[in-house]
Chain A
Amino acid sequence: MEELKTKQQNTEAADTELPLDKTVRLMSPTRMVVRRFFRSKLSIVGLVMIVGLFLFSFVGPLIYTEWGEIELDESGKTEYSVSTTTYTVDGVQYTLHQTTEKSLKDNFLAPPSAEHILGTDNEGYDIFVRLMYGGRISLIVSFLAVFLITILGVLMGGIAGFFGGVIDNVIMRLCDVLICLPGIPILLIISTILDASNIDAKYRIYLLMIYLTFISWPGTARLVRGQILSLREQEYMVAAEAMGYSAPRKIFKHLVPNVMPQLIVSMSLSLGSMILYEATLSYLNLGVKAPYAAWGTMINIISTNQDILQNHLNVWVPAGICIVIAVLGFNFVGDGLRDALDPKARR
């Protein structure tokens, strides 16, 4: 509708000479970014994936209340096993077929049905519901980690870039050390330390991710520092200096907002890698532990159980697909944002 109006205005402008600001539609930079973002099909696909996963994980359990996260299906299951023995008596061969019926309490490894949309796992938990709860953990944990990493990174990078000198040197050397720490091995070590401190299985993954932020902030700090070093020489910073603004005001009101574009892109891309991190830790049985659900934990079972790996794809493949959708979604959105925020990449 608005575009039509502009067109009309344009044709009118050709006839009667209106001042420039009436003939040209003004667009704020934010709006231009949003428009460029939505022009790319991939970023829309990514956004749909992420919003879909959010609804699935957070609204899903409210609607689909058949089963809970740690609710076993105790409807029972009968297992039949047949054993055959052959023996020879007086030259005649006899074969004995013996069927054993075993009644088990839990209905585990049930195939997909109306009752269990994706069946049940080896314990008897409903897989579909556990996917939802696993999604909650993955999304909350990765958002939390990225949020903390960004805060710490902006703070340290901002201080280092703005003040320079000794402070810069100390912070950057600390960054060098932390960047050299091998990521997965260190998290494995921290995770075993957490095992000993008797933390509730529900909260240990949060604690683990907080530790992860302590070794992951240098990347963001370097990015912020690099930007600030080049921005510091800009004329508006000289103006801010002349106005006599305080250092925090100059850093956080004048410099940091100008780093935001790069920061937003790196945040959305690292959301994807955080989900992978969490999933990997859970797969190694170091993240979220049983009985609670996480996507990585749901795949963990196949590393010891070949039967499930080969014959019960419904137990582990859906969790993997969820991880791929989440990471892919964040990567698409991050890419779209990068193109949209880059003033050079117009098309």
Chain B
Amino acid sequence: MFKYILKRLLMSVFILLGVSMIIYFLIRLMPVDFIQDKINAINQGGATVSQETVDAMYKMYGLGDNSFLGILGGYFSWLGALVKFDLGTSFVYGIPVADVIFEHMGISFLIALVATVFEFLIAIPLGITAATHQYSFRDYLVTVLVMIGISLPSFFFGQMLKDVLALKLGWFPASGLIDATASYTGVQLLGDYLRHCFIPILTIVILSIGARMRMTRTNMLEVMNSDYIRTARAKGLKERVVVNKHAFRNTLIPMVTSLAGLLPSLFSGAIITEQVFDLPGIGNIALDAMNRGDIPFIMGYNMFLALLSVVGVLLADLMYGIVDPRVKLE
């Protein structure tokens, strides 16, 4: 077991190295030039920037040489800093990238966490009813409804909810995270947060219920056809006990495994949903950084995502070995 984990961790390092190389080269090929934008801004202010200052600035930011070797050098200096746990300083915010990520991760994490909890609470009972009433009207109704949920584009559905619930009915604020006109504190502030996050969370929940419900349904169906369920029924147990105790517990194996796979989506932020509702989550910040050419931040954000998915896959495999005694990790 220990050897297996060690081997996987070592492999993960190589995977992340490959990922970082691809991302770094792609980012350096981006035509968005932060320095040029900055100089243009200074020029518009009336001051003139001498060519020497421009060159010095490029050199300071490590963007002077755009040839292949220059980019390679830039990559290695980025990598060298990373070994010292330094992701660099964000061009736009002027503070370390890690700080920017942590600052904006909280809100994304909170939204994703609440949405995930509701997703499980709604999807699992739906999946169980659909499976126990297979091919009935109820099964079809639930299946069709959640399939529509899967098929909705997040930007379209989010804007629709925003239009109806926020702009037409006025029940919830349309965008942002806090009410700028009021100064709340304590419980009121929390309530204000929740009011602002309600529609984004609703959007995410409706879009994600489908996959979870269908997974529950498939697993349930598989279990319901197995021999020990027939035995349980033959013993004369109530159907409710058969379903909830004997069948459902056995669907928990894939469920627990998929919990580990949720890790990336909890922290990475929903880019589109945050953009639609103008939330200061990490996804929205990253979208903005990409438009402004904030290279250290884009690099740090993408590596953060890659790290999360590597860890997620590893955790899922380990979890599988722990939950299911039939699986041996080697």
Contact = CB atoms under 8 A, between A and B. Distances in A.
A29 interface: no
A276 B298 CA distance: 24
Interface in B265-315: 268, 271-272, 275-276, 286-287, 290, 298, 301-302, 305-306, 309-310
A272 interface: yes
B82 interface: no
A309 B167 contact: yes
B26 A310 contact: no
A190 B25 CA distance: 11
Which label, helix, strand, loop or mixed, suits the secondary structure of the A interface?
helix
A interface bracket (residues with beta carbon within 8 Å of B): 35 or more
Interface string A313-347: 10011011001100110011001000000000001
A42 interface: yes
Interface stretch (A13-21, A103-111, A174-182): A174-182
A184 interface: yes
Interface stretch (A125-133, A141-149, A156-164, A191-199): A191-199
A180 B16 contact: yes
A288 to B, nearest CB: 15
B30 A189 contact: yes
A303 interface: yes
A177 B32 CA distance: 26
Nearest to B154: A280
A91 interface: no
A309 B163 contact: yes
Which label, helix, strand, loop or mixed, suits the secondary structure of the B interface?
helix
A179 B151 contact: no
A272 B147 CA distance: 11
Interface in B99-155: 135, 140, 143-144, 147-148, 150-155
Contacts of A42: 140, 143-144
Contact of A303 (B27, B276, B305): B276
Given A189-B26, A320-B160, A347 B151 contact: no
B interface bracket (residues with beta carbon within 8 Å of A): 35 or more
A174 to B, nearest CB: 8
B271 A189 contact: no
B276 A196 contact: no
Contacts of A196: 30-31
Contact of A324 (B23, B144, B148): B148
Nearest to B148: A328
Contacts of A327: 150-151, 153
A208 B9 CA distance: 33
Given A196-B31, A310-B168, A177 B19 contact: yes
Given A42-B140, A181-B22, A181-B23, A324 B151 contact: yes
A233 B309 CA distance: 33
Contacts of B152: 324
A229 B159 CA distance: 46
A135 to B, nearest CB: 15
Nearest to B16: A180
B18 interface: yes
Contacts of A309: 159, 162-163, 167
A190 B26 contact: yes
Contacts of B187: none
12 contacts: A42-B143, A42-B144, A177-B22, A190-B26, A192-B32, A280-B155, A280-B272, A283-B155, A320-B157, A323-B151, A328-B147, A331-B147
Give 8 nearest A-B pairs by CB, closest first. Answer: A196-B31, A320-B156, A327-B151, A177-B18, A182-B305, A328-B151, A180-B306, A283-B155
Given A279-B153, A303-B276, 7 more contacts: A177-B15, A180-B16, A189-B23, A280-B155, A283-B272, A299-B156, A327-B151
Interface of B: 11, 14-16, 18-19, 22-23, 26-27, 29-32, 135, 140, 143-144, 147-148, 150-157, 159-160, 162-163, 167-168, 268, 271-272, 275-276, 286-287, 290, 298, 301-302, 305-306, 309-310
